Amino acid sequence: MRLASIRRTATVAATGLVLLLSACGGGSEPPATSSSGTASDSFPVSIEHKFGTTTVPAEPKRIVVVGLVEQDALLSLGVVPVATSEWFGEKPGAIWPWAEAALGGAPRPQVLTSTDGVQFEKVAALRPDLILGIYSGLTADDYATLAKIAPTVAQPKGAVDYGVSWQDLTRTVGAAVGRKAQADRVVADVEGKIAAARSANPAFAGATGLMATTYEGYYVYGPQDPRGRFLTDLGFTLPTGLAEVTGAEFGANLSRERTDMLDTDVLIWLVDKYDPDKAKVQADPLYSKLKVKTEGRDVYLENEEIVGAATSFITPLSLPFLLEKLVPQLTAAVDGDPATVAQRATA
């Protein structure tokens, strides 16, 4: 996860933007949404979210993703959006390797940038019939502008921004594209794989686990973040007091006085550069005394390498890959034996 994405801010649309957008549409025509099969549900469908209820009147054919990971949920259902939003990695179409098989030979989506907020004019020029911003930090103003372009599904009501679970995201996308039953099957299949990994690793049960990164010191991901939920799904317990530290956000910075919270049975570090960042963390006088370091319980993943990226995505397509590549590292870390070092996994 890029550090710039931890605290995203969205630009507010200028007055009269939608009138300008309605005049867009010149230039080359982007590909229409590809799908395998057709929707199994009847339309219209209504979906509740943070800013109200959105009605999707008919099966959408031109879907624009302004959230950061919804393309994986769509692809898992056989649907290809016309546009995605770049988070990090600069992959063609914003499609990571774990999703390539699901994309197949379909045209890659156009990629929008999200660094300075939603690119409203480009979204409108794509002439979408559905906009998805479920794993996002859309503001009320963002939503109001997007909703004038096309039916827009924002982040869930009651969830923190960027805090939707992969199950809720997949099911919400399934409802929006008329594939509820298929989405349920996708969720059940991946949950079965997670359950199998948990069963095969009884040492995870009750062991404490945490994910952190080196953003403005030490930044930890809380119980409302998909990364934190991934650990609890495997059987780990998050540190006592973590929810109080992160509050109504998906994560928060730790003060130096709370470095002890990092002393868990397993600690996953998401770093920008593997070697220098790992060395910097381990040289910290406070951290170097913790058992998580002296007993070799910490695992380091580079953000833009595929295993680190899958750890930030947490989607129905990234999770099976992540279970294969990360769980062996967690197994080596949780035993507390410094001789069983968690090997660096880059592919």
> How large is the average pLDDT for residues 189-199?
98
Residue 22 predicted with pLDDT over 80 = no
> How large is the average pLDDT for residues 280-301?
95
CA distances from 286 to 289, 291, 293, 299 (A): 6, 11, 10, 18
Residue 13, helix vs strand vs coil: coil
Q: How confident is the model at residue 337 (pLDDT cuts 50, 70, 90)?
A: confident
Residue 231, helix vs strand vs coil: helix
121-147 residue pLDDT tens: 999 999 999 999 999 999 999 999 999
Residue 339 predicted with pLDDT over 90 = no
Question: What pLDDT does residue 327 have?
Answer: 96
84-130 residue pLDDT tens: 999 999 999 999 999 999 999 999 999 999 888 999 999 999 999 99
Q: How confident is the model at residue 65 (pLDDT cuts 50, 70, 90)?
A: very high
Question: What pLDDT does residue 90 have?
Answer: 94
Contacts of 192 (CB under 8 A, 6+ apart): none
64 pairs with which residues across the strands? 83, 131
Q: How confident is the model at residue 347 (pLDDT cuts 50, 70, 90)?
A: confident
Question: What pLDDT does residue 84 have?
Answer: 98
